[in-house]
Amino acid sequence: MAEYVSLEVSDGIGTIWLARPPMNALNRQVQGELQEVAREATRRADVQAVIVYGGEKVFAAGADVKEMAGMSFQEMSDAIADLQAGLGAIATIPKPTVAAITGYALGGGLEVALGADRRIVGDNAKLGVPEILLGVIPGGGGTQRLARLIGPARAKDMVFTGRFVGAEEALSIGLVDEVVAPDEVYNAARAWAGRFVGAAGRALAAAKASIDQGLDTDLGTGLAIERHLFASLFATEDRAIGMESFVENGPGKAKFTGK
């Protein structure tokens, strides 16, 4: 059983809890547990949407610098693939995902949140990638996901300076999607995730894959990915249910099975 990362499921929503006090530092054990829990959330049929949450005070204040400080070049060369996989684990879940952020989401913490489909933050949130202040760069996907999300110029400003971004600025540059009071962050995340409970899960997975994979290639290849995934949904029960319900009852009344 994982020590610092857990998955709790209720009403079709899975919550991935980060719990390594005091600041949820993401050491190698936590990185491995994130991968395990992401696989569990992917596998479980009773999980239809996922929240990742660090608690009421902090999301995660980065990787464990004490652990990394003594590592050699060879040791980090051997470990970096696992670090990227752990901090990017949320991005592998083929279901709607939302990061619920209070307090700090820095370095590896922000990289975890960047793997989610949506980010909801408290108005006390501070986000950043301060690795440059340690003489390194973001290594858990930050240089890539951040630039894709907010554009290269803004990403370079954050990476080059290592500065912290407050909630309102984060909203204005597209780094986060919603700002609420800190004690409403988790509830707001559940409200968003709850929209997908009982939805056409295979179609959601296809939509997510089409967007994410298409962003990594040219338009022509992206359209080919879309064609394949669109056609594949005609092999699902939900497609038949959805279209039959639309013809007979109009939109928005289908009762999907997730198959």
Catalytic residue numbers? 111, 131
Asked whether the beta carbons of 37 and 75 are under 8 A apart, the reply is no
Helix axes 219-232, 201-215, angle to 10 degrees: 170
Asked whether the beta carbons of 158 and 146 are under 8 A apart, the reply is yes
Quote the Cα angle for 41-182-52, to 5°: 10
SS3 64: coil
Q: Which among 84, 70, 9, 71 is positioned nearest to 40, based on CA atoms? A: 9
Q: Which among 73, 74, 61, 77 is positioned nearest to 27, based on CA atoms? A: 61
DSSP string for residues in 13-56: EEEEEE--TTTT-B-HHHHHHHHHHHHHHHH-TT--EEEEE--S
Radius of gyration of the chain (CA): 19
Give the number of C-alpha atoms closer than 13 A to the C-alpha of residue 43, restricted to the C-beta side: 7
Give the C-alpha separation, 110 to 93, whole Å.
17
